[in-house]
Amino acid sequence: MARKKIKIPTLKELQKKYPTQYIASEVDESKTPWLPSRFLAFNKVLGGGIPFGKVLELFGEESSGKSLMAFDFAYCCQYLGGIVLWVDAEQSFTNSWAEINGLDLSKVVVYRETSIEKISDWIASMSLYWRSQLTNNEPILLVLDSMSALDTDANINSEMDNASADMGNRAKAIYKYFRIRNEMLYSLGITQLYINQLRKNLKAGMFENPDVTPGGKALAFYASLRIGMYGGKQITKKIKGKERKIGRVTSIRTIKNKVAPPGPTLKGSPLYNNPKYVDHIGFDRLHFLDEILIEEEIIEKSGGGTYSYKGKNICRGQEKFIQLLENDDDLRRKLIKKAGINTLGTTKKLLESLTENLYPVDGISEDDYEDTDDDE
């Protein structure tokens, strides 16, 4: 009996059948935009910032700088011509504090809601709308503050003493959200920043991590980047004879990085949060830059504290070196470029150089990403 001849599909047919496939060598990753922060060392740790469409989980202790970091990314998003979608689940967003952090309120859309189901629908609708308006690859940043404030419709609508208010449903709903929305948000280039809290696991064993993040494991799984922030001692400054609190020292640790080699922990990052006594709110953008330049062997530092560049002494002492970088724009840009640190300037040039829309909305619909599984 003669064997039936197998029909070999053409590449064109395969591409039509599997539209998300691609040949890796045909993708120029140098044209993939990243949303940077103004904190240069943090950009280096992340690998350039947050790639458009990817997920960053920012978790940590209370007052460790999570919201200020989110505001910094929001500022950068707006600087690049983008829009910020801010889910205010904690109901802590205020216009005055956002403006102090440099935000243009006309480019921030705030949604106050705790229902995971309603937030999921809102994010899908707003992402499609704003991507249809921003057709030159401008960034769209989604900030959700915070995961610990989310709950399901069923739990919200139940009585306080109702046993049916199962907190396990919350973790399932968060997993469902990421499962049905992640591909859509990636396709639209929606940069996602989810703020989370740290909780103590009272059941942790001797060799287990006592710190956990609420909401189940879905966010940790879907996040390309997970960053832990840990608050330290207060920063004070003597003003008119009195010690005033102007900020605190924070440590930033990379827990997961799937887009770049893991970076070092940024121990002792100054975070300024009192606008009454300081000119700049947020992280010191040049802090740790001297250490990075020395590590990359771009700058040399002698035992006596003298900094040299290309064999020529340029200054002595860390404070003077940082001042030199602040004042000498040309030198600072050269050193940052040699260190391979992504900045707002380089990202802006990249976006201006792109000749095609990387995130077309044609053919994308919310209905394509509706959940069809019966999870009940």
Residue ranges and CATH numbers for the domains of the chain are 32-156+165-285 (3.40.50.300)
Q: Are 288 and 266 in contact (CB under 8 A)?
A: yes
Is the pLDDT reported for residue 370 higher than 80? no
SS3 78: helix
Q: Are 120 and 172 in contact (CB under 8 A)?
A: no
Average pLDDT of the segment spanning 183-192: 97
- 297 against 367, higher pLDDT: 297
- The string of pLDDT tens digits covering residues 5-60 is 888 999 889 988 998 888 888 888 888 999 999 999 999 999 999 999 999 999 99
pLDDT at 372: 52
pLDDT at 164: 46
Confidence label for 201 from pLDDT (cuts 50, 70 and 90): low
**Burial classification of residue 347, based on how many CB atoms lie within 10 Å of its CB (0-12 exposed, 13-18 middle, 19 or more buried):** buried
Is the pLDDT reported for residue 132 higher than 70? yes
pLDDT at 212: 83
- Partners of 266 in the beta sheet? 252
Confidence label for 313 from pLDDT (cuts 50, 70 and 90): very high
Name the one residue in this structure whose structure tokens are 């599984």.
373
- The string of pLDDT tens digits covering residues 212-239 is 888 889 999 999 999 999 999 999 999 9
- The string of pLDDT tens digits covering residues 254-304 is 999 999 998 889 999 999 999 999 988 999 999 999 999 999 999 999 999
**Mean pLDDT of the chain, nearest integer:** 91
Is the pLDDT reported for residue 208 higher than 80? no
181: closest CA among 192, 167, 171? 192
Going from the C-alpha of 90 to that of each of 33, 40, 252, 286, the distances in angstroms are: 30, 29, 23, 31
Is the pLDDT reported for residue 373 higher than 80? no
pTM (two decimals)? 0.93
Q: Considering all CA atoms of the chain, what is the largest pairwise distance in Å, rounded to the nearest integer?
A: 101
Give the CA angle between residues 358, 362, 363 to the nearest 5°.
120
pLDDT at 203: 63
- The string of pLDDT tens digits covering residues 332-366 is 999 999 999 999 999 999 999 999 999 999 878 77
Q: How far apart are CA 196 and CA 290, in angstroms?
A: 31
- 368 against 182, higher pLDDT: 182
Residues 6+ apart with CB under 8 A from 76: 35, 36, 37, 38, 49, 139, 344
Confidence label for 163 from pLDDT (cuts 50, 70 and 90): very low
